[in-house]
A = this chain, B = another copy of it.
Amino acid sequence: MVDWLRHRDEEPAWREIPDEIEQALARPLAPGGETEEAIYADFLETVLPYSLGNTHPRFFGWVHGAGTPIGALAGFLAATMNANLGGRAQAPVLVERQVLDWARELFGFPAGSGGILLSGTSMATVVGLAVARHRATGGRDRVDGIQDPSRLVGYTSAEAHNSIAKAFELLGLGSDALREIPVDDDGGLDPEQLERAVREDLEAGHHPFAVVATVGSVNTGGFDDLLALRRVADRHDLWLHVDGAFGAAAQLSSRFAPMLEGIDRVDSLAFDFHKWLQVPYDAGCVLIRDGELHRATFESRRDYLTSQERGAASGEPWFCDFGPELSRGFRALKVWFTLRHYGIERLGQMVERACDQATHLGDRVEAEAELELMAPVTLNVVCFRFRDDTATPAELDRLNREILTELHERGLAVPSPTRVGDQFALRVCICNHRTGPDDIDALAEATLAIGREVSGLVAV
């Protein structure tokens, strides 16, 4: 398996799943059991070759982590120990507290602030906004639910990720209660338009309670101005939550950390260890400035969960009081191994290296007459496409869609599809420590070659 990781670049970046594999993976369960060897052999034949490709150096799609050998080791150790980190007196709980302390230190959160590992930023945002809701309702939400006659409303940028709207939905607030504020020329949530929207909602009798900032927007890698948003939030007593799913990793690089100025003054921060911080899936995190409020939002014990002064049932505080999960896996161990092994410095270098590759791709695209950059490159995201000045907008979309499919099906590279403004784009997001300049050049050349090949066909 370690060999498999080591030689990823000798394999296609993605492979279509053959029908017979699809059928094999739809078989009913044999009631009588099978040997370890048989199942492992089946895994090697039917599962491993048909990964999505995110460990491959020419995988650029969506926002995927790439994994590491040390993360794989930690996954094995965690599955062997099989710890349940809901609480109680055990070293795994101390490991999670330790990695949360490292995260607090990294982002300038005070000692005593709350924090917990979750499955990813989607759930971390749910938790952050649940605490915000708890504060906004004066703590009544837990017992009474949302019965506020003046509706709770929040704000985020038009470039924000859909996980924020989904969090509003799950929490019973509804996506209509999330106002999408246009971005300014720098691609960040426009603070003046935010101010205006809050005032309008106040006048309409609504109850503005939270603003969700984005650091590292999914389509363009854009950053909201946290200091400016903090000022608006303070003026109107709004909770300031940050979606830093991948962008928060910029904090590890002295080159990019200034884009996160003010991160140490937000109320809650959601981010992933499993994206740009190289930890295997799944490992997200939320930090909450007000640790007591965090606990007050989720704390709940019955007789069978009371703790004791001593023995296995001691060890307060318990993590089950800081989120919606009671049984909780040992996500912390892979974070612990990964951060310790690489250290902040090398992880920061990986961040910079990824951004360098993005810059290189941006330069390559701008240098090629047949390629077109769809948005400025500010971090690790590049949206671009093949151009053909004789094609209509619809034809151009179709052409680039075809290029994307061919890149995938030939196993050359895996960008993902998106739209920038009104136009289809190939989206490249580089979190992968294995990606180098050769991979970028290979992508550019393959796009050009396929584009030339296909544009004739599409135009006909």
Residues of B within 8 A of A29 (CB): 102, 105, 339-340, 343-344
Residues of B within 8 A of A228 (CB): none
Q: In the complex the two chains form, is B405's CB within 8 Å of A311's CB? A: yes
Please tell me if A31 contacts chain B, counting CB pairs below 8 Å.
yes
Please tell me if A7 contacts chain B, counting CB pairs below 8 Å.
no
Known A29-B344, A67-B82; contact A47-B142, beta-carbon cutoff 8 A: no
Closest to A429 in B: B304
Binds B, one of A232-240, A412-420, A447-455: A412-420
Known A31-B343, A328-B119; contact A80-B91, beta-carbon cutoff 8 A: no
Q: In the complex the two chains form, is B416's CB within 8 Å of A313's CB? A: yes
Q: In the complex the two chains form, is B145's CB within 8 Å of A61's CB? A: no
Q: In the complex the two chains form, is A84's CB within 8 Å of B172's CB? A: no
Residues of B within 8 A of A376 (CB): none
Q: In the complex the two chains form, is A62's CB within 8 Å of B300's CB? A: no
Please tell me if A385 contacts chain B, counting CB pairs below 8 Å.
no
Complex interface residues of chain A between 158 and 173 (CB less than 8 A to chain B): 161-163, 165-173
Q: In the complex the two chains form, is A51's CB within 8 Å of B92's CB? A: yes
Binds B, one of A14-22, A190-198, A352-360, A364-372: A14-22
Q: In the complex the two chains form, is B67's CB within 8 Å of A36's CB? A: no
Please tell me if A10 contacts chain B, counting CB pairs below 8 Å.
no
Pick the contact of A274 from B50, B94, B327 — CB < 8 Å? B327
Q: Type the 1/0 row for A78-97, where 1 means its CB is closer than 8 Å to any CB of B.
A: 11111110101111101101
Q: In the complex the two chains form, is A31's CB within 8 Å of B218's CB? A: no
Please tell me if A290 contacts chain B, counting CB pairs below 8 Å.
no
Q: In the complex the two chains form, is B51's CB within 8 Å of A122's CB? A: no
Please tell me if A128 contacts chain B, counting CB pairs below 8 Å.
no
Residues of B within 8 A of A75 (CB): 75-76, 78-80
Closest to A414 in B: B312
Closest to A174 in B: B145
Q: Which of A16, A83, A120 has most B Cβ within 10 Å?
A: A83
Q: In the complex the two chains form, is A55's CB within 8 Å of B82's CB? A: yes
Q: In the complex the two chains form, is A177's CB within 8 Å of B47's CB? A: no
Complex interface residues of chain A between 116 and 152 (CB less than 8 A to chain B): 119-123, 126, 130, 133, 141-147, 151
Please tell me if A442 contacts chain B, counting CB pairs below 8 Å.
no
Residues of B within 8 A of A40 (CB): 73
Pick the contact of A101 from B26, B35, B83, B330 — CB < 8 Å? B26
Residues of B within 8 A of A346 (CB): 33
Residues of B within 8 A of A48 (CB): 77, 81, 91
Q: In the complex the two chains form, is A89's CB within 8 Å of B16's CB? A: yes
Give the number of residues in A that approach B within 8 Å (Cβ atoms). Answer: 156
Please tell me if A389 contacts chain B, counting CB pairs below 8 Å.
no
Complex interface residues of chain A between 188 and 243 (CB less than 8 A to chain B): 218-219
Pick the contact of A79 from B35, B74, B83, B119 — CB < 8 Å? B74
Please tell me if A34 contacts chain B, counting CB pairs below 8 Å.
yes
Please tell me if A456 contacts chain B, counting CB pairs below 8 Å.
no
Nearest CB in chain B: distance from A346 CB, A: 6
Q: In the complex the two chains form, is B312's CB within 8 Å of A174's CB? A: no
Residues of B within 8 A of A163 (CB): 326
Known A1-B76, A162-B305; contact A143-B329, beta-carbon cutoff 8 A: no
Pick the contact of A65 from B84, B130, B304, B420 — CB < 8 Å? B84
Sample 19 A-B pairs with CB under 8 A, ordered by A number: A17-B94, A25-B97, A27-B98, A34-B343, A35-B341, A48-B77, A53-B312, A61-B313, A64-B84, A71-B82, A75-B80, A120-B328, A121-B326, A162-B300, A171-B171, A282-B327, A310-B405, A311-B407, A312-B414
| Given pairs A1-B77, A28-B101, A166-B324, 20 additional interface contacts (CB within 8 A) | A17-B91, A25-B94, A26-B94, A29-B105, A29-B340, A33-B343, A39-B337, A49-B91, A50-B91, A51-B81, A54-B84, A67-B80, A74-B79, A75-B76, A78-B280, A145-B176, A146-B174, A219-B304, A272-B327, A303-B420
Q: Which 9 A-B pairs have the closest CB atoms?
A: A172-B172, A75-B79, A145-B174, A67-B82, A33-B343, A311-B408, A76-B76, A50-B91, A282-B329
